[in-house]
């Protein structure tokens, strides 16, 4: 009967109880929606880094990574690539010759870039470079060596389509080589750093001057499903223990940190919301208890044990939390679904967002387990906040309580 009394007590002051339930709902909705917006931003950044840039896994010679030097190739790269492609978990894989820290010059300006020598058809499947072209062609329409560069870099170099560039680098034989390319295509990326710092040329063009002695110094692998990452990485490492097989987590540690710390700092934010919520609940429940001082005194006078009085106040809060938390989660789910489709347009801040790798249109999204966790946290916070009012209720002395009007 104690839960029944508590349930009926909840509805003694409908407006107040509804306000408490609503404050729980709105608090959780706000926290969840913020979490979804944050995740939407990072999911896009993660998606950009994996699909446009580093892929899931890359293979290099150890010294390539240690010295950041493109002259260290992957011996028997073709054989390794064929082996990788036979794995059904691999969506696409490609070879590259990568030259980090190369100077690219136009007639007007110069910039430090990474030059990626790619196989255009394979690259299309791995990074979708073709789909990001905003102007020009995809390595066609010229007899010269073609180059595709970011639109922002082109602007920086003051170069147009069909313009000529020269790159200079040391080849594997330690000879300084200068190669001329004609810009045939411009691409756009949501990541400014990528767009301003990476140019694409044909691998075969670079290979002629690099004299690597092997077809590539990088193999990039895109998986069908992220969850296979560790298993495929282990398998590839086992095939080529002499090479360094790294996932995007090692290749882009700053992004890994962001993803790993996402839950932590969003939970901190939700914790702050819940703390504010708890103060509200403590205040309301305390008021509800103090209003019923006489009644609580009577209950203890006629023989209701303190633990039951305590449980009654706790039940009242649990009921309000159980009404408020699912309502908040429903609100959050609906709003995330709706806004997730339409997106939040922050085009006005596009330049700033892009420099951090964020898209200008954010699509909030959240995994199902977060809804349950946040709802659980909300209910737990409500229960915790009821402890003090419940304790106050049982500390009353019946005689003093009965004297209250």
Partner 1 sequence: METPVIETRGLTRTYDADTVPVHAVNGIDLRVEKGEFTAIIGPSGCGKTTLMNMIGGLDEPTAGHVLIDGEDIGHKSANAMIAYRLHHIGFVFQAYNLIPVLTALENVSFVMLLQGVKKRERQQRAQELLASVGLMDKLDKRPNELSGGQQQRVAVARALASRPRFVLADEPTANLDSHSTHDLIDLMAELNRKDNMTFLFATHDQRVIDRARRVVTLEDGRIVKDEKRG
Binding site for partner 1 (CB under 8 A): 1, 5, 8-9, 12, 294-295, 298-306, 308, 397-399, 402
In the bound state with partner 1, the residue whose beta carbon lies nearer, of 56 and 292, is 292
- SS3 (DSSP) at 178: strand
CB 344, min distance to partner 1, A: 46
CB 305, min distance to partner 1, A: 6
In the bound state with partner 1, the residue whose beta carbon lies nearer, of 84 and 300, is 300
Can you tell me the distance from the alpha carbon of 280 to that of 277, in angstroms, rounded to the nearest whole number? 5
In the bound state with partner 1, the residue whose beta carbon lies nearer, of 124 and 291, is 291
Can you tell me the distance from the alpha carbon of 96 to that of 109, in angstroms, rounded to the nearest whole number? 27
What are the two backbone dihedrals, phi and then psi, of residue 225, each rounded to the nearest 5 degrees?
-135, 125
Q: 63 — alpha (psi -120 to 50), left (phi > 0) or beta?
A: alpha
In the bound state with partner 1, the residue whose beta carbon lies nearer, of 103 and 298, is 298
Q: Are 222 and 51 in contact (CB under 8 A)?
A: yes
What are the two backbone dihedrals, phi and then psi, of residue 357, each rounded to the nearest 5 degrees?
85, 10
Q: Which residues contact 163 (CB under 8 A, 6 or more apart)?
A: 106, 107, 154, 182, 183
In the bound state with partner 1, the residue whose beta carbon lies nearer, of 238 and 302, is 302
In the bound state with partner 1, the residue whose beta carbon lies nearer, of 162 and 307, is 307
CB 262, min distance to partner 1, A: 45
Can you tell me the distance from the alpha carbon of 215 to that of 97, in angstroms, rounded to the nearest whole number? 8
CB 8, min distance to partner 1, A: 3
Q: Are 120 and 202 in contact (CB under 8 A)?
A: yes
CB 321, min distance to partner 1, A: 20
CB 306, min distance to partner 1, A: 6
Pair type for strands 198-202 and 110-118: parallel
């Amino acid at each position: 009967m104690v839960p029944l009394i508590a349930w009926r007590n909840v509805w003694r002051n409908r407006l107040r109880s509804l306000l408490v339930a609503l404050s729980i709902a709105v608090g959780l909705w706000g926290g969840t929606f913020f979490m979804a917006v944050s995740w939407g931003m990072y999911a896009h950044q993660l998606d950009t880094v994996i699909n446009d840039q580093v892929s899931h896994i890359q293979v290099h010679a150890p010294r390539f990574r240690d010295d950041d030097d493109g002259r260290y190739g992957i011996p028997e790269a073709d054989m390794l690539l064929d082996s990788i492609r036979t794995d059904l978990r691999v969506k696409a894989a490609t070879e590259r010759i990568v030259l980090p820290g190369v100077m690219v010059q136009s007639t007007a300006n110069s910039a430090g870039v990474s030059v990626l020598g790619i196989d255009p058809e394979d690259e299309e499947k791995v990074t979708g470079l073709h789909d990001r072209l905003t102007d020009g062609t995809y390595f066609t329409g010229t007899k010269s060596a073609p180059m595709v560069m970011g639109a922002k870099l082109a602007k920086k170099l003051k170069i147009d389509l069909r313009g000529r560039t020269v790159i200079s680098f040391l080849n594997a034989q330690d000879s300084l080589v200068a190669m001329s390319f004609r810009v045939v295509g411009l691409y756009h990326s949501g990541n400014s750093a990528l767009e301003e710092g990476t140019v694409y040329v044909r691998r075969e063009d670079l290979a002629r001057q690099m004299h690597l002695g092997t077809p590539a110094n990088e193999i990039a692998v895109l998986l069908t499903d992220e969850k296979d990452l560790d298993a495929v990485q282990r398998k590839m490492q086992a095939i080529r223990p002499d090479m360094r097989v790294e996932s995007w987590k090692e290749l882009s540690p700053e992004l890994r940190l962001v993803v790993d710390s996402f839950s932590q700092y969003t939970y901190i934010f939700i914790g702050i919301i819940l703390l504010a919520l708890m103060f509200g609940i403590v205040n309301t429940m305390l008021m509800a208890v103090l209003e019923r001082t006489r009644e609580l005194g009577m209950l203890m006078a006629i023989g209701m044990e303190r633990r039951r009085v305590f449980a009654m106040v706790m039940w009242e809060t649990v009921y309000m939390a159980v009404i408020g938390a699912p309502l908040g989660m429903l609100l959050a789910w609906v709003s995330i679904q709706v806004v997730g489709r339409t997106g939040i347009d922050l085009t006005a801040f596009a330049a700033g967002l892009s420099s951090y790798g964020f898209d200008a249109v954010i699509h909030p999204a959240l995994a199902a387990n977060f809804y349950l966790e946040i709802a659980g946290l909300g209910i737990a916070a409500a229960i915790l906040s009821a402890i003090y009012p419940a304790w106050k209720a049982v500390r009353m002395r019946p005689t003093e309580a009965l004297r209250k009007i």
